[in-house]
Every structure is written in structure tokens, then in C-alpha cells.
Amino acid sequence: MFTDAHLAPYAAKSASSRGRRHAEDPSSSRSEFQRDRDRIIHCTAFRRLEYKTQVFVNHEGDLFRNRLTHSLEVAQIGRSIARNLGLNEDLVEAISLAHDLGHTPFGHAGQDALNACMKPFGGFEHNLQSLRVVDVLEERYGAFDGLNLTFETREGILKHCSLNNARLLGDVGQRFIEKKRPGLEAQVTNLADAIAYSNHDIDDGLRSGLLQESQLMHVDIYARHRVIVDAAYPGISGRRAIAETIRRMINTLIVDLIQTSAEKIRACGPASIDEVRNMERMIAFSDTMFQQAQDLKQFLFENLYRHYQVNRMTFKARRTISELFSALHEEPNLLPHDYQVHDAKSDEQRQEQQVRKIADYIAGMTDRYAMREHRRLYMVDDI
């Protein structure tokens, strides 16, 4: 039988979880957070992540990362950090696997386009949409909508939220109103996400040819580790050298995060997760490492995310999302039946519900489905 005895006092305990929105009998073979993880892995939105953009659109190459591989990498990094800090690995894994469930097709370009379309109707944010997926949109159980995850997993999924939205979310939105912190597991997942996407985007950028290693030698954290690799393996080059460099960078960031966070935890001395929520943020890099991570992030922004070839795909992605929204908003009867609103009490309510269902429909699309649906709606020779 699973116990929480091995966890630090300030860790999230499955046995003392704040529970689920709908009461369920506990599992005889899994902790509550293990159960959350399993529900996430088996849900429809999780499977779709395989065909959603990280940086490169799915059809641009089989070896580039997508939202699914990214989520798995975040979970692995997060579990390593959690294990060293005495935190709940299962909760970190559940949050990691769920954190991108609400992401649109075409990555951040798709989110920006859908947010612009939804501005008059409350906007769109993939983080909030991830919570909506697990709370409402998944249809797998007879007794309730969504996956009925624990409060702690839902808290971790919701990394940021406006006050207006927080007031509509009940208990999980309360910390934004009260300006409190989430548990340490949620804080770990947030930085594991940052470690994963920056370092693995270097790998994909070099593989694609949009980045050159000569450029990266001007970035301190990369250059420093590449020198170490060259000294350890004289004559090494190509993919092997890049992989050795990146894995060392990831390790350096993880070790620094663990050491700095452990010091902050000792200094604050939380005795429970509820005390954690009332204290300053404790999961953090050292000042030096934070700056190096920021320099790397800025380099990627300028040289990869704004590369003209990525910009071309971004332009097409924004146009695709915007035109899909325009067509479906103008003619809701073009939507599949499940996404059409038929039982609203008033025209105003119907419009409000219909627009949100359009956003749900588009956000749930994979890259290739969005492109195919766009062709169906706008090309007369494609039905």
C-alpha cells in the first residue's frame, strides 16, 4: 500500500489532498496523484499532443519535438528535481503531463491568433484551457465531466490567471486573489518546463539548420559546456558533441536549482504545504544561473523563434487560425454537431456559449487537422 512516509513535511501528501470536485472512493492500488497521472495519460487531449507544434510544425520533420515529447521531458526533469528535494514525484509527473493539454495547434503562434480572435469574448490562454480540458471537456466518465483530478494537480496546471478568471474558478483560483503561492511540486514543474524547452529547442534548432553552433559559442552557458566536452572527448564533433553539451547544460541547471531551492527551503522552514503557500517562492535558480538561463532564452528568441523561416510558418499559422475562427463564428452550422449550441436560454447566452465552443474546437485541433479543416472550409476543390 502506498504511503507518504518518505516525503518531506512540506511536500504534497496524497493522503491529505484537498480532494476532487466530485467525491470518489479511493483506489486500493494507487495514490491519488498516481491516479491523476493515469487519467491524464489515457485522455484524448494527451494523445493529440503528438501532433501539436513545439517550435516546428509536425509535417516539417519526424525528429523534431512536439508537445507530447516535450511534456514527457518536463516530467522526467521534474521528477529528478522532486526526488532530490523530498517532494511528491507523482504529483510533479501529473502536472507535467497535463500542463500543455490546452495548447492550440501551431504553438504560441496559434495561441496568439486565437487570443486575438477571442479578445471581445474574454480572450484565450492555453494555461486556463488546460484546466478547462481536465475539468470540463474530456468525456470519459459517466458520473462527471472532465477527469475529476485532485485539487493539487489542478493547482499546478493553472500557473497564471487573471483576477477576473480567478474569481470564476472557485478554490483553485483563490490563490491568485489572495496572492499566495502554489505547492512546491507546482513550482518545480514550472522551472522543469523552462529547462526542457530552452535546451531541447537548441537541439531542434541545430538539427533544422536554423541555428549554427558558431552562434551558440557566443552564449556563455553553451560555450562553457562545449569546452568541457571538447576536453573530455578530443576530436568529438557533430550530433554526439551537441548531445553531450546539451545534457551537461541540463544537468548544471538541475543541480543549481536543487541546491538553491534546498537552501531556500531550509531558510524558510515550512512545516507543511499550507505553510509553503503563504511563503515566498522557494524553487529557484541562483542569481548567476538565472541570468545565464535568461541569456539563453533571449538568444533563442532572437535567433530561432524569430528566424525568418519560423516567421513564415508563424504567419501561415496565424492566418489559418484566424480564418477558421472567422468562418465558424460567422456560420456556426459549419461546426460538428457536438460543438453547436442548441439549448441556450437567450440569444446572448447562446452567443457566449457558442464562441467558447468554437475556441474549444480550434484549441483541440492538431496541426494537421487544423490545416485540413481550413482547406475544407476555404478550398472549393476540397470537401
Top CATH class of 28-308 equals mainly alpha
Confidence of residue 383 (pLDDT cuts 50, 70, 90): low
Residue 57: is its pLDDT beyond 60?
Answer: no
pLDDT for the residue numbered 61: 45
pLDDT, tens digit, for every residue of 18-31? 999 999 999 889 99
As a whole number, mean pLDDT of residues 319-325 equals: 97
pLDDT for the residue numbered 1: 53
Confidence of residue 59 (pLDDT cuts 50, 70, 90): very low
Q: Tell me which residue of 116, 200, 138, 186 sits closest to 158, measured CA to CA.
A: 186
Domain boundaries, the chain: 28-308, 315-378
What CA–CA distances, in Å, run from 7 to 16, 79, 87, 273, 300? 13, 13, 6, 12, 37
As a whole number, mean pLDDT of residues 223-240 equals: 96
Q: How confident is the prediction for the chain on average, in pLDDT?
A: 93
pLDDT for the residue numbered 273: 96
Cell of 23: 467525491
What CA–CA distances, in Å, run from 6 to 2, 91, 157, 214? 10, 14, 25, 46
pLDDT for the residue numbered 54: 67
Hey, what amino acid is at 52?
K
Q: How far is CA 217 from the centre of its chain?
A: 29
Residue pair 27/35 in contact by the 8 Å Cβ criterion: yes
